[in-house]
Structure 1
Amino acid sequence: MSKFDAIRPYYDAEVNQAIQMGINHPILKAMMQFTFPEVDEEIWKAQLKKTHSIRDFQCNFIYESIQKVLQKSSDGLTTSGFEKLEPNTAYLFISNHRDIILDTSLLNISLFDHGLVMTASAIGDNLVKKDFLRSLSKLNRNFIVQRGLSPRELLQSSQLLSEYIEQLLLRENRSVWIAQREGRTKDGNDATHTGVLKMLSMASGGSDIMDYFKKLKIVPVAISYEYDPTDALKMPQLMAEANKEVYVKSSNEDFNNILGGILGQKKRIHIHVSDVLENELDFIKQEFTNPNKQIQALVQVVDEAILKSYHLWPTNFIAYDILNNTNRFTEKYTEHEKSLFERRLEMRIDSHNQQMKESFLAMYANPVLNKLKYDDQL
């Protein structure tokens, strides 16, 4: 028994048995029919039964599924920065988080296409409560982050998670994806939570935190969707928060968000991976001796890397101009693009509800505001 058994993905030796147990599950069947619509069921089942490693499962099935998602619900994925990463090298990707499944899946197909090490990826246990979904996530090299814990349990869980991430990066040479904060960004304001960095530092064993982070090879990641496929689904929570109400998820909300993210229209998507943080960590170490101040400074560095490299789309500029009743960015979009966005606004929310309309627009406009903090000549 490993101390990581409760949170780790499958070992390769466990993969085939897990596939055999789930091969007739309706979700797997729907996924295979979506991915390989022309292929007879017995053929893809035969291929699955020959699968004995996570890499084979990801390359032969998950990769093809994500390509089909891109084909059917987007105008394509572009990337930048990957050419600066080294093959056979593990990195800690700290990413903004917009979509439950796609953020990490799109990063992984980009890593695969560039001949780089794919990631083990954090996923909240609230998303994998059903046995089959947990098994599928473990087949896709997800590791579990436990949610809703007491302060004492949270401390223990964070320590275990930190040690497991260290094991993946420094001992198994496996890259890791983790979101910059718990849960997806709903309002378009991507911000790193200090708790994530504090958790990562727990395995440093008393050594200097910045020296430890240097070993982890931190790479900030910015992913942006021209249309957020779950924009309307995020509105109830945004409305509750705006009215200072406690928001309670419906029973199928997470699953609906997963499906909405996969099947909903995204138009164009861009992923940028920043340079590995090195000089920045040296500077923080020189400037601050207090660990908490070091963490705060690193939060700012990660935020700046993500916000500055976030790819802005016409939808972002359109929303900014509508929200602020201005023509500041009219050269960034066409009238046709504006009319399409306004049509989306009308169809997806109650546009007569001014508060809801403003929240929807702000979701798209906030990345422009954030980028203006670093460059007023967008």
Structure 2
Amino acid sequence: MSDFSSIRPYQDAEVKPTLERLVNTPELLHTLIGFRYPKLSGWRKSLLAIGLKAYLRWRLRNIDSVYQFQLEVESYMDHMIKTTTSELSSSGLDSLDLSQPHLFISNHRDIALDPAFVSYILHHSGQDTVQIAIGDNLLTKPWVSDLMRLNRSFIVKRSASTKRDKLKNSRELSAYIHHAITELGDHIWIAQREGRAKDGVDLTNAALISMLSLNRSKSQPFSEFIKQLNIVPVSISYEFDPCDEAKANELVAQQQGHYAKQEHEDILSISRGITGHKGRVHLHFSPALQGEYHSAKQVAEELDRAIIGNYQLMPTNWVAAGRSEQASLNPRDVDHAQRYFEAKASTLSAEAVEQLLAMYANPVLYKDKVF
């Protein structure tokens, strides 16, 4: 059997050499400084990088396992949650038998934070963190790949150009996910489709379910295989999306036919997502899928019903949809949402404002369509 070395997360024996590589990566040091001091440049930034390198080497000196590294990351998560959210809440987790590994499939709004919040809530419920599926398109720099794989991410190879290579990569990914769940006993997180739902429409790509089932033996019924995966739909709701302006501008550019993705653009999105204000954030964990499903399309439709149906609508969603009166909202929340959109309208084109409002309104509109 493959050891999955090209895609699996790093193991404990790889932690020390990986941390040493990271500490000696000037670009990473400058990126970390940029998060904290975005206006700093020149010799001051270089001088601070020298100090940061020494501090990180001291801070990380005793870390020699993935678990210890994640405990270190937790302190930064705590700070991020305290400073960029007004509330982080969850529901539904107590209905799951977490003694069994699960495949958490969620909607996808933020590159890094969607799985990070799932892991954080599981950890604070006494569970191991999830292994995270991450596309190789995000790993444009070696230090990003190192950081992600240290943090229990496994790689989804999306850069193949031929159908043969794409199928080979999909089979390897399917086999790895099945291996991680059934043999390693690990929880897994994967998004319901490739890429973020920039328009706020959280629909599952049935091809994801087809990929998962590539590992199914011909003698095993499809519904039995799906039950074995313990698929849990997760609805992740953000009151404010720190990347909403960038997403709206991208959607407008795509409509006009002149959008060109910039180099390392996803890394900037990760930075914005982490540092930007998110307001209230809520995660709902639906019961594991245990029905009699006979096709990938049926599973995808059930995921949509659960994810969209249990999405916690925020004041920004109701106001953008023009339906705040029917939601029994606090008037202060309505006023806050209205002022938020007015501020956005002062800096965006009319076309981008239209896209931004649709992005926030679609969770309301699609909940009507699903139910």
Query: Could you say whether these structures have the same fold, taking a TM-score greater than 0.5 normalized by the shorter chain as the test?
Result: yes
Contact persistence 1:89–1:117 (CA under 8 A): no
Change (3 A) 1:32 1:169: farther
1:355 to 343, 351, 361: 351
The answer as to 2:113 corresponding to 1:112 is no
Quote how far apart the aligned CAs of 1:41 are. Answer: 7.3
Match of 2:139 in 1: 128
Alignment of 1:174-253 (within 5 A): 174-206=186-218, 207-243=220-256, 245=257, 247-253=259-265
Counterpart CA distance in 1 for 2:52 and 2:271 is 24
- What one-letter code is carried by the residue in structure 2 that aligns with 1:332? L
Residue aligning to 1:372: 368
Asked if the contact 2:23–2:56 (Cα under 8 Å) also holds between the matched residues in 1, the reply is no
What per-residue deviation string (whole Å, max 9, x for no partner) do you get for residues 65-109 of structure 1?
111111111102001111122344210001100000000001101
For 2:176 and 2:89, the matched residues in 1 are separated by 31
Does the 8 Å CA contact 2:9/2:154 hold for their aligned counterparts? yes
CA contact (8 A) 1:119 1:177 kept: yes
Per the alignment, do residues 130 and 139 of structure 1 end up closer, same or farther by CA in structure 2, a change over 3 Å counting? same
Following the alignment from structure 1 to structure 2, what is the Cα–Cα distance between the partners of residues 250 and 6?
26
The letter of the residue matching 2:70 is Q
Flag the 1:327–1:199 CA change in 2: closer, same or farther, 3 A: closer
When residues 32 and 358 of structure 1 are mapped into structure 2, their CA distance, relative to the original with a 3 A threshold, is closer
Partner of 2:316: 315
Shift of 1:118: 1.5
How many residues of Structure 1 are paired with residues of Structure 2 in the alignment?
Answer: 354
The residue number in structure 2 matching 1:23 is 23
> How far did residue 309 of structure 1 move?
0.7
Match of 1:300 in 2: 301
Distance 2:177 2:81 in 1: 30
1:190-246 per-residue CA deviation (whole Å, 9 max, x = no partner) reads 000011111100011222222111111100001010001110010122113334x26
Does residue 1:64 correspond to 2:75, yes or no? yes
Identity between Structure 1 and Structure 2 (%) = 36
Q: 1:28 to 1:15 in 2, by over 3 A?
A: farther
Provide the aligned C-alpha RMSD in A.
2.4
Question: What aligned pairs does 1:74-113 form with structure 2 within 5 A after superposition?
Answer: 74-113=85-124
How far residue 19 of structure 1 moved from its aligned partner, in angstroms, is 1.1
1:329 aligns with 2:341: no
**What does residue 291 of structure 1 align with?**
none
Residue 329 of structure 1 aligns to which amino acid in structure 2? Q
- Taking the aligned partners of 2:348 and 2:119, their CA distance within structure 1 comes to 40
Q: Distance between the aligned counterparts of 2:193 and 2:222, measured in 1?
A: 19
Query: Which whole-Å CA distance do the structure 2 matches of 1:31 and 1:212 have between them?
Result: 43
Query: Which residue of structure 2 lines up, in the alignment, with residue 289 of structure 1?
Result: none
Q: Secondary structure at the match of 1:49?
A: coil
Distance change in 2, residues 1:352/1:94 (3 Å):
closer
Distance 1:94 1:45, change over 3 A: same
Distance 2:273 2:52 in 1: 27
Name the aligned partner's letter for residue 319 of structure 2: I
- C-alpha contact 2:103 2:189 (8 A) present in aligned 1: yes
Do the aligned partners of residues 116 and 6 (structure 1) sit closer, same or farther apart at CA in structure 2, a change above 3 Å counting? Answer: same
Aligned to 2:328, the other structure's residue is in SS state helix
The residue identity in structure 2 corresponding to 1:240 is A
* Residues 1:10 and 1:85: Cα distance change in structure 2 (over 3 Å): same
Instruction: Give the AA of the match of 1:9.
Output: P
Is 1:173 aligned to 2:169, yes or no? no
Change (3 A) 1:46 1:360: same
- Hey, what does 1:11 align to over in structure 2? 11
Q: Is this contact kept in 2: 1:32–1:44, CA < 8 A?
A: no
**Conservation of the 8 A alpha-carbon contact between 2:128 and 2:187:** yes
Residues in 1 aligned to 2:100 and 2:313: alpha-carbon distance in whole angstroms:
30
Check 1:352–1:216 CA distance in 2 against 1; reply closer, same or farther (3 A cut).
closer
224-233 or 1-10, which deviates more:
1-10
Q: Distance in 1 between matches of 2:70 and 2:359?
A: 32
Partner Cα distance (2:82, 2:237) in 1: 17
> Where does structure 2 lack aligned partners over 5 or more consecutive residues?
37-50
* C-alpha deviation, 1:306, in angstroms: 0.3
The answer to whether the 8 A contact 2:320-2:357 is kept is: yes
The separation in 2 between residues aligned to 1:132 and 1:270, in whole angstroms, is 30
